Structure 1
Amino acid sequence: MVTKFPQNIINKFSKFTFYANSTNKIWLFVKPKIQCSLLVNHHQFLHIQFAIGAQVEFASFIYASCLPRYQQELWHELMNLGKNIDSFWILGGDFNCITSPTEKRGGKTSLLSPIAKFNNFISDASLFDLGFKGPKFTWRRGTLWERLDRLLDNSLWFQTFPFCTVTHLAMAGYDHRLILFSIQNTARPTNTPFRFQNMWTLHLDFIKEVGNNWNSNLNADR
């Protein structure tokens, strides 16, 4: 049980199970209906086992260091975890590393060594990048943009849930984008028609709401 959460957060999510890693940089809120056990509390990740019904799965929530030597430690720790997992495993969060120079725009030229080591980890651990929908970059500082946040899964997860989707949402005032992960095992229809209910035009605040949303700043990629 977490003891470092601000009291207002604890009060708001009092029905949830709380977890935080040793540096208090990763917060995890779990609904009561999900059986969850914390297996590893690391300064760069939380590793949990959870069950939905009879299905046991594993998840690792990442907040990697920006220093290559600590990143290498993280890849090593995750590799060791993967060797003992024979069920579904998904990893997600801020890996603080890119897999290609094309995942960066602006700033200095990226060092190739950290990129190569990150790619070697993904390959050696037999993980798959789930890709994404939406804007290409997930983090911004000034004119520098990078894709630092991603979700990876093992082959069992990839084969069982081939139509999972990762969507990059608005930054909403933060330097990282919100990430929406949708789990499904059937493809969504691609030809769904657009529908609009004419009744909404009769609402007194219709024009005002349309104007507010049209003019809102979503920090979209330029």
Structure 2
Amino acid sequence: MMYKDVVDISIQTYSKHHIDSIVKIGNNRIWVTGFYGHHNPNDRSTSWGFLQRVGEVVKEEWVVGGDFNAMLNDAEKEGGRRIVRAHINEFRDFLDDLALVDIKPDRGWFTWVNNRNGDRLIKERLDRFIMTVPAMENYTFTSSSVVRRIQSDHDVILFDLYRRQPMS
């Protein structure tokens, strides 16, 4: 997690799969969770259950960003085996249950690539930012983008609460 000096961050809790923090920007507060979802699809319900418990404690608007190791639809994968429909549905149901909205990136799409050539190339959108509806309503100028990293199989995802704000 990287941020500018103009914000005040207070870490609340952390583990090997998350970092919870409250971010203060001026008079506004927003809960931000950095997240790493289980790689094994059979363990992902544990990841969703964990985030559900965090969501029950959050009193502020909430943003979650990181590697969810999950996809919402077939457009989030190119190459390789098809996505198991039950895994897509489980992730969608989790987002719906907590009323979390996926922030589509302005630039870039796939965040993971296996760095192979030809028919063996696989690209997936595993990393993302999601936020609560109240956060979307309060921060109407949010944006997300994917920055390609050649030396890694995962790209960087950036999130900006004010990027789309019109210039005065």
Shorter-chain TM-score bucket reads: 0.7 to 0.9
Q: Is the 8 A contact 1:89 1:154 kept in 2?
A: yes
Q: Which has the larger radius of gyration?
A: 1
Matches within 5 A, 1:9-88: 28=1, 34-88=7-61
TM normalised by structure 2 equals 0.85
Looking at structure 2, the residues matched to 171 and 60 of structure 1 have their Cα atoms a distance apart, in angstroms, of 23
Looking at structure 2, the residues matched to 146 and 188 of structure 1 have their Cα atoms a distance apart, in angstroms, of 32
Residue 160 (str. 1) matches residue 138 (str. 2):
yes
Q: Secondary structure at 2:50's aligned position in 1?
A: helix
CA RMSD of aligned residues (A): 2.1
Distance 1:188 1:174, change over 3 A: farther
Letter in 1 for 2:16: H
Partner of 2:125: 147
Matches within 5 A, 1:1-222: 28=1, 34-141=7-114, 142=116, 143-184=121-162, 187-188=165-166
Distance 1:188 1:179, change over 3 A: farther
Looking at structure 2, the residues matched to 30 and 101 of structure 1 have their Cα atoms a distance apart, in angstroms, of 32
Letter in 2 for 1:82: G
Structure 1: runs of 5 or more not aligned: 1-27, 190-222
TM normalised by structure 1 equals 0.66
Structure 2: runs of 5 or more not aligned: none
Looking at structure 2, the residues matched to 105 and 184 of structure 1 have their Cα atoms a distance apart, in angstroms, of 31
- Deviation of residue 120 (structure 1)? 0.7
Aligned length: 162
